[in-house]
Structure 1
Amino acid sequence: MAQNAGPLPEVSDSPIGYPSVAAALADLAGRPDVQTSVQGDWTIIAQPQPRTLWSFPGAKHPAYPAAVRREVVTGPDGKVYVQMQVLCEASKPACDDLVRSFQALNKKIGASGKRRS
């Protein structure tokens, strides 16, 4: 688990392009251009265009309901980056823990990508 360094900043508008977690899940799950799977208590939706991975924790997760949107983008320097947006409707501490766990996962992904290049 990532080290707790106090509360994370919040945004007032939904950063994921949907007004709520339920709206995002309903829209994405009904689309023919995505692949949906369940891994443990998580619903994972892979969207090919743009290259985006959506993660929705199940009802037993402390950060439920939440949506984590991670998009793979190529920067102006030609390097590949993961841009992450989170909409979390749970308690502030649970949401902060969720964000920190995904930030740590993103760092691991970036580190493994650097080793391969």
Structure 2
Amino acid sequence: MRVGAILALAILLAACQMNQTKSAAVATTPGEVLASLRDNPEAELSEKEGWTVAVLPNEAGRTVWSFPPEEHEAYPAMVKQTVVVENGSEFAETSAQCSGSQSVCNALLGEFHRSIAD
């Protein structure tokens, strides 16, 4: 009986993990990604100068998503920065999704990078 309960729990947990993985893989727009992060108990969300910032640990470091406020010219948009630690050094890979013109998106990235420097 106890083995059956443990097996049922393991199957349930595996199904939940598959759903979380599927949800994260399906999220493609900034709104979908933000909703997925809000549903993730491992994600730490905060506000910084009107931007929503979500930090999620990964196996080698962390991933940080930054979403500008609705009134921002580039909205809806997001900047994703994956920070990886290798051999004691930190490296960052940055990507962005922006719905504005090229100049608006460039300004968004500039604003993002300036906020990191602060």
Tell me if both proteins adopt one fold, taking TM over 0.5 as the criterion.
yes
Structure 2 segments unaligned to the other structure (5+ residues): 1-24
Q: Note the C-alpha offset of 1:83.
A: 1.0
For 1:74 and 1:42, how far apart are their aligned partners in 2?
A: 25
* Divergent runs of 4+, >6 A: none
Alignment partner of 1:36: what SS? strand
2:48 is matched by which residue type in structure 1?
Q
Alignment partner of 1:100: what SS? helix
Q: How many residues align?
A: 91
Q: Note the C-alpha offset of 1:78.
A: 4.8
Work out whether residues 57 and 67 of structure 1, in 8 Å CA contact, stay in contact via their aligned partners in 2: yes
Residue aligning to 1:48: 57
Q: 1:32 aligns with which of 13, 28, 41?
A: 41
For 1:25 and 1:104, how far apart are their aligned partners in 2?
A: 22
Q: Note the C-alpha offset of 1:103.
A: 4.0
Please give the TM-score of this superposition, normalised by the length of structure 2: 0.65
Query: Percent identity of the aligned residues?
Result: 31
Alignment partner of 1:32: what SS? coil
Residue aligning to 2:32: 23
For 2:115 and 2:85, how far apart are their aligned partners in 1?
A: 19
Work out whether residues 36 and 46 of structure 1, in 8 Å CA contact, stay in contact via their aligned partners in 2: yes
* Mapped pair 1:82 → 2:92: yes
CA-based RMSD:
2.2
**Structure with a larger share of its residues in helix:** 2
For 1:22 and 1:97, how far apart are their aligned partners in 2?
A: 20
For 1:55 and 1:104, how far apart are their aligned partners in 2?
A: 13
Alignment partner of 1:54: what SS? strand
Q: Note the C-alpha offset of 1:93.
A: 1.6
Structure 1 segments unaligned to the other structure (5+ residues): 1-16, 110-117
Alignment partner of 2:67: what SS? strand
Alignment partner of 1:63: what SS? coil
